Structures are given as structure tokens and as C-alpha cells.
Chain A
Amino acid sequence: MGRPVAHRTPWSFIWLSVGMVLFLYAPVGLLIVFSFNASPMSVAWQGFSWHWYDRLLSDRAMWEAAQNSLAVATVSSVLAVAMGIGAALVLERRPAHARGMEWVHNLLLLPLMIPEVLLGVALLLFFVIIEMPLGLITVMIGHVVFNLPLAIVVLRARLRKIDPFLDEAARDLGATPWQTFRWITIPLLRPAILSAGLMAFTVSLDDFIVTFFTAGPGATTLPLRVFSMIKTGITPEVNALSALLVTCSMAFIGLSLFVQHREARPLPSQVERT
């Protein structure tokens, strides 16, 4: 009613946005739609069916892969966040005279820049050289390698916003270093811990390349399973599995963004004050 015309978004802009979203999500949407296709051939629509989900959920090997994926994602994201807290604390709260910390930081972030294939090959070589049998453990270690820099970036950004005098105030009020960490640092870092954890979990759940190089027999994860199924042609069962994975990932990313967003908002009563 009272809104000035000038504030309305131009149509060209809206169409462009719609086009972008379609470009990004059409393949995924199609994949999800075809996971409900009754036909065993992926390309022709022959009516709606839950058939492929039924088959998927009754597949024992699939459940095993899901378990592996969950185990890897949980362990690697928890480890990455725990190590990330330590690294972020050292990087952000270093004594003034500690030089060269920026280099340590850059080194820690390097795995983000290294092509994943190289990372996978390097890890494989490393495990072979130290004669570590490939299995779930090696996959977990591999995932920590790429999750750690991710966690550091998120945690360090949050830590930078926390007043370092809070630590000193706690110490002054009689808290030991551990109590300060427990009652001040951790609660204030909590949103970053959650969102870093969720992000690491999601990336780990989806990862194929590093997993492919570091997994041994019996350590098949869901992405590996998808890959092996595709070798025999794209069946709607693959679609169904992929649809589930996509939905899970999106849910986690959404949750992570929500956590970050909620903490960024001011307290409600802060708004009502002048």
C-alpha cells in the first residue's frame, strides 16, 4: 500500500535469480523426481513408486555403508573440531611476541587448496609407507585432514569476536586456566563449535575422493557404494540413495546456517530497549 515503487525489485532481476536457482538445482531435482520412477530404466517416466526406496532400505550392504559413513563423519568431525579449537586458540590468543604464527595458519589451511586427488594419493602413499592397514581408521584420519582446516576457519572467526579480556576477567575472579576454558571460552564458542561440526560432518558424509583412496575392504561408505552401483548402470536405486544423501546434507547445512544466524541476532529484549 504505502510502499514506494522504486523499492520493488525489477522483473529482469527476478528472472535472472530464478534462472540461476534452476541451473543449480534442476539436476538435483530431476534426480529426486526420478528416484520415484516406477520404471527400472532411469530415463523414461512410468509412474510414481516407493519401490526403489523399499529396495534400498532392505539392502544389507547399503545399511552397512550407511553405518560406515555415519561413523566416519561423526568421528572425523568431532576430532577435527576438537583439534580445531586448540589450533584456533593458539593462533588467536598467542602471546604478542610469538612470530611466524601466520605461516602456521597458512600451513594449516593448505589442505583446502590442495587438489583432493593429490591429497588422496598422498594419504594412500603415507599409509602404505607406515604399513597401516587400510580400513575405517584410515578413512577417518583422511577426513580429519580436510575437515581440520574447515573447522579452524570457522572457529577462529568466532574467537576473533570474543573479547580476550573476558579470559583475564575470569582468571582474575579466581578461575584456573581450565575453569576459564570450561566456563568462558567453550560457551562463547558454542555456536561456532556446532556449525563447524555440522559442516565437517556434511563434507565428510559426501566425500568420495579421499575416501576412495584411503578405504580398504569393509570400509565402504555411501558415496563409494553409489560409485560402485553406477558401474553397472544408473538405476533408480542409485537415484533414491543420492536423493537421501542430498536431503541429509542440505538438512545439516541448513541447521549449521541456522545456528550461526541465531547467535548473530541480538537478544529480543535488546531490541525493545532504546
Chain B
Amino acid sequence: MTEPSVQLQDIVKRHGQTVAVDHLSLSIGQQEFFSILGPSGSGKTTILRLVAGLDRPDHGEIVILGRSMTDRPPNQRPVNMVFQHYALFPHMTVAQNVAFGLLMRGEPRRVIDRQVASILDLVRLTGKEDRYPSQLSGGEQQRVALARALVNRPAVLLLDEPLGALDQQLRHVMQAELQQIQRQVRCSFILVTHHQEEALMLSDRVAVLHRGQLQQLGTPEELYESPKSLFVAQFIGLSNTLSGRIAIMDDSTCTIENGHRPPIRAPRPAALSFHAPVTFVVRPERLRLLPYSTDASHNGAINRVIGTIAKAIYNGNEMLYHVEWGEGMTWIVRTPLLERSPRFTVGDHVLIHWHWEEGLVFPS
């Protein structure tokens, strides 16, 4: 692996009594699209501000392209930021906003004009050079903010919830555009978002943050398929849960019991003892539904529970069923709309079944 573009080494940042970032270490590769994902208040914006130099860490080192930047002021760091609400200079035109960084660096007029023109072309704002920010739409303002940062050719581009202020449709357009721009400019992007879908779609790697602590770091697939904690499992994607205790264990599986409900077989979690309280998690798309009357051959590897359809939601490419089972529990089952797949309506009795390997078990 080449030299990382940004390294955070054991960073601690406190805001008064609360710890915003708690002994965090991260290493972000060159040209990597890296996301920091977490609920609001998890300290993700603080990390960007620390990298940008707008805040100082209470402890730890920030290394950018191999050089320690911990004590450098923001204007001496090879990073640029796209602010959450863009922070465009209202008294300057689009072209002046974009030229600002180059002007501060003392580039000659000729170079500035050429680079501003080429970056505005990249973000498709040619022709709007002389507009003021207040005359632009939200999506255009967003692109000016992007251009204003990228024109300086930073080693790292920091994006603080850049799509948060846009409506759903524009959001999708801008997501695609961001990805394309990142491939063209070839600098690393650090995106901060609370929108898990966005993080999964755009990123090479995602860091999940909760209360200033790193919960898990991995590719979108790793995070979704094998979350390391209940928090990650519940934060990323939809999940069905059941709490209980481990009743039986063998080498690879365990059985979880919860009151009168049927016991469930699941992969055996490491380092958990017999009778430990656990939470079982399974993704809605890993569950299958069968009409209740069907009497499939009994197979120990398959979990099956009996339930009633409480809600059936059609959303074009799949059905979302809310299935009630076992005394007031509701699980969500996602089934693709295939020609042959059976359809259910509210009130139908069904059999939810899944292979034990699809489940995840976490200590509660």
C-alpha cells in the first residue's frame, strides 16, 4: 500500500465535559473514498474539523501525506472542506468564490482564470460564473462549494454532510456526480454522513462511529454482511431482532431461547458462555415466507416460526411484509417480486424460515 493520505493517531477531542472523539485512530489511503458514518452527535463532524485544522485535538497526532499537521493552522494544510451549508461567500460571484483559494495562494491571474474555468467545467457550472450564490439553486450551490475546494488540488477533500440539504432526487444525482468527480480528480475524499445508504453506495471503506468511538471499519459489504456489534448491525440496514439466552451450544451453532417462543438456531458467537443474555439479529432479505399449510420436510439447519401478516407494502421492486409472531413481535420480511413467488395479504398465516447461518448473535 502506498503512503496514506491522512493518518489520525489516537485522537482525543473534548467539548467541555463531553468527549467528542475518543482515542480514534484511522488511516485513509490516497484516492480512497472514505466515509465516516454515525448518528448525529457521534463526533464525525469534529473529526473533519480536526483534519481541516479548524479545531485542535486534545491528544494525538494528525499526519497528512507523511507530515505531522497537528499544529498547523488551516491555511497551511493541503486539505479543503465542503461545508455542510456550503458557506459560500455571499458577496462574491461564482467565479470569485472558486478563485479565492488560488488568489490567497498568490497564483498569477492567467493560471487562476484557466483553472477556475476548467473546474467549473468539471462541475458543469460553465455559464454561471457571474452569478451570486443567492441566485443559484441548492444543487448549484453545492457544486460551487465542491469546485471552490477542488480547484486547490487538495490531497484530501473533506465533505461534511454535503448532500444533507438536497431533496431525495437531487441527492441521487449528486451522489453519482460525486463518485464520478472523485474518479477524475484522484484525491482522497472523506465524507461525513448520517445517511447509511449514501455511505454504503459511495465509499471504498466506511468507519462507523458512535459516541466518538470507532465501532467498525470496513468495506460496505463487510459492514453489512458481518457487523461486529449490535450497534453496527442495527445502524446499517434494516434488521430484525430477538433477545434471549443461549440454551444449547455445539462447536459452530447455538440455540437461543426466549420465553415461550420457539428456540432459534444461530451461529455460535465467540467468547460467550452458556446462558449468557444475547440479541439475535437477522436481515429482512434473508428471511423466506411460505404459506402455513405447506409442510416442508423437517431440517435442523432451517429455523421456522409461524406468524401472521400484519402489513404488506408494495414498493415496485419488492414486497415488504410485517409479520407478527410469538406474542407481539413484528419482523420485517423482504421478498423480491419474482413471477413464481407467492404473494400474501394481511391476515394470512405464514411460515418464516431461514438457514441458521443467516443469523447473527451479539451479547446484550
Contact = CB atoms under 8 A, between A and B. Distances in A.
A132 interface: no
B74 A269 contact: no
Interface stretch (A46-54, A67-75, A165-173, A210-218): A165-173
A199 B119 CA distance: 44
B85 interface: yes
Given A188-B91, A270-B134, A173 B148 contact: yes
Nearest to A175: B104
B134 A172 contact: no
Contact of A170 (B16, B53, B79, B100): B100
Contact of B87 (A169, A269, A270): A169
Contact of A168 (B87, B100, B104, B135): B87
Contacts of A114: none
Interface size class of B (residues with CB under 8 A): 20 to 34
Contacts of B148: 173
Given A168-B87, A174-B105, 10 more contacts: A97-B16, A166-B89, A168-B83, A169-B83, A172-B53, A172-B80, A176-B104, A183-B100, A269-B135, A273-B135
B91 A172 contact: no
Contacts of A176: 75, 104
A165 B85 contact: yes
Interface in A145-177: 163, 165-166, 168-176
Count chain B CB atoms within 10 A of each CB in A165, A166, A173, A176 and give the residue with the most: A173
Given A165-B85, A168-B54, A173 B73 contact: no
A266 interface: yes
Interface size class of A (residues with CB under 8 A): 20 to 34
A259 interface: no
B323 interface: no
A179 interface: yes
B80 A173 contact: yes
A86 interface: no
Contacts of B132: 267, 269
Contacts of B73: 171
B44 to A, nearest CB: 17
Interface string B321-349: 00000000000000000000000000000
A174 B87 contact: no
B262 interface: no
B87 A166 contact: yes
A263 to B, nearest CB: 10
Pick the 10 closest A-B CB pairs, nearest first. A173-B101, A165-B87, A169-B87, A174-B104, A171-B74, A175-B104, A174-B75, A172-B81, A187-B91, A172-B74
